[in-house]
Structure 1
Amino acid sequence: MVAGIVGFGGGMLLISVLPVFLSPALIIPIHGLVQLASNSSRMLFSLKHVRWQLVPRFLLGSVVGALMIGYGLSHISMEYVPAAIGLYILLNLWSPKFSASVSRYESFYLIGFLQTELGLVVGATGPLSLSVLTKQLESKDEIIATSALFMTISHLAKVPVYLSFTESMFSDLDLIVYMVLGAILGSFIGTKLRLSTKNGYIIKIIQVLLTLLAVKMIAEVAL
């Protein structure tokens, strides 16, 4: 429901409680499946607001990112990646000079690549595309619907990787079904609430929450 209103945050709440119910080996793949249900349902409930012209570039970058997951994760140190993402989000949101300069190089090919490539080890890659969409689009519904589709693509591209994590993933099938149904219901309620809320109010909330997330990502690495 939280993600249905502001576009993100639900996945972080979910992964914080999953260790209570699941073994460590199942947390990442089951979280990915539930997030796939959450993002895809959120996108479907706001289908008319998706900016489809942006999708092909993100999709191509995401496919390349998925194909290179194994190579990238074995050749790149991930220790400082969350801090780099956090710093990028902060500067993109609050530094007009940085935002204007980086706009010349921002590409949804690259965003799709990074969001999918790094998504397995960096829990909050979705805000990468959300921060760019917030800058380029004016409608809260277009921002959140398009971001939901982008995150759906990223999760779909990683499903084969999730499935390779464990052979016992569907031993908790009942739990997965209940979580998926809960995610879809939350998306429906959150979307209804968002559609009835003023545009500027939601966008400001997104900016504030993205800022808090970015600070958290930087602080976790620095401390």
Structure 2
Amino acid sequence: MDIFLALLPTDLAPSFSLLLILASFFTSATTAAFGLGGGAMLIALMTTVMTPLVAIPVHGAVQLGSNGGRTLLRHKHIVWPFFFWFCVGSALGVAVGGQIAQLLPEDLFRAVIGLFLIYTAWGPKLRSVIKSPVLTSFTGFVAATISMIVGISGPLVMGFLQGLKDRREMIATHAALMTAQNVLKLLTFTLLGFQFAAYLPLILLMIATGFLGTISGSKLLDWMPEHVFRKIFRLILTLLALWLIVQTILG
């Protein structure tokens, strides 16, 4: 037990580390089943026990493991043309976002994402984005830029993916997109000087429990009828939107 505790970050209470390791299971299961929600819940929890300058890079590393595991489990359902053009835009967006992250108001982006999610939950589906390489690349650019500023872009991307008709395609393509974006984020944070080594044991433990959550959530996804998935998905999307808007109002 002492050896285990010695591996955990010294600037974080052991009880908080254990809480994050356990939370990784449940948040990954949520994302695997419904496509979103888990990453936002995890970053919200992490920023209560870590500073944002630490939470966002560590969250990106953990999400790389979670999304990577989901990509492996669902690779047969990935819509590859959308994935390719999104990544083209994301590469530029990560570079731009890393440079302007300290210059733009974070609350503004939270509010914009919240309003966009309300639209995608209740408005017409954005099917044209799925079919247009230019719009897909622009989507990747915007999502990656915002992700470098506020730490999350998963709900934003999933809003565009609603144009896909099959829930499995949504989950698989979203996982692949987030995996690619997380790789770019980690490279950028490393180049900017963040030291991941001190948090590596915690990251690996969170990835391990997150993969177990991914397996559990994937089984739930296969069991759910399409219409049930869509209703719960819309509810989660709306709750996330309201959470972001409330954060903006409260400052």
Confirm or deny: 8 A CA contact 1:82 1:217 kept in the other structure.
Answer: yes
Distance 1:180 1:29, change over 3 A: same
Identity percentage of aligned residues = 31
The one-letter amino acid of 1:107's match is L
Confirm or deny: 8 A CA contact 1:63 1:113 kept in the other structure.
Answer: yes
What's 2:135 paired with?
Answer: 107
- In structure 1, stretches of 5+ residues that fail to align are none
Greater mean deviation of Cα atoms: 157-166 or 205-214: 157-166
Confirm or deny: 8 A CA contact 2:108 2:248 kept in the other structure.
Answer: yes
Distance 1:104 1:153, change over 3 A: closer
TM-score normalised to structure 1 length: 0.87
**Paired residues for 1:33-182 under 5 Å:** 33-96=61-124, 107-134=135-162, 136-164=163-191, 168-182=195-209
TM-score normalised to structure 2 length: 0.78
Confirm or deny: 8 A CA contact 2:37 2:155 kept in the other structure.
Answer: no
- 2:154 and 2:243 map into 1 onto residues whose CA distance is 15
What's 1:27 paired with?
Answer: 55
- 2:71 and 2:120 map into 1 onto residues whose CA distance is 25
The one-letter amino acid of 2:112's match is A
- 1:112 and 1:101 map into 2 onto residues whose CA distance is 15
The one-letter amino acid of 1:4's match is A
What CA RMSD, in Å, does the superposition of the two structures yield over aligned residues?
Answer: 2.6
Could you list the per-position Cα deviations for residues 156-175 of structure 1 after superposition, in whole angstroms to 9, with x for gaps in the alignment? 11112332565542123322
Could you list the per-position Cα deviations for residues 96-152 of structure 1 after superposition, in whole angstroms to 9, with x for gaps in the alignment? 3x9689999992111111111111222432111101111x11111111111111111
Query: What is the aligned length?
Result: 221
For residue 120 of structure 1, give the secondary structure of its aligned residue in structure 2: helix
Confirm or deny: 8 A CA contact 1:137 1:143 kept in the other structure.
Answer: yes
For residue 87 of structure 1, give the secondary structure of its aligned residue in structure 2: helix
- In structure 2, stretches of 5+ residues that fail to align are 1-28
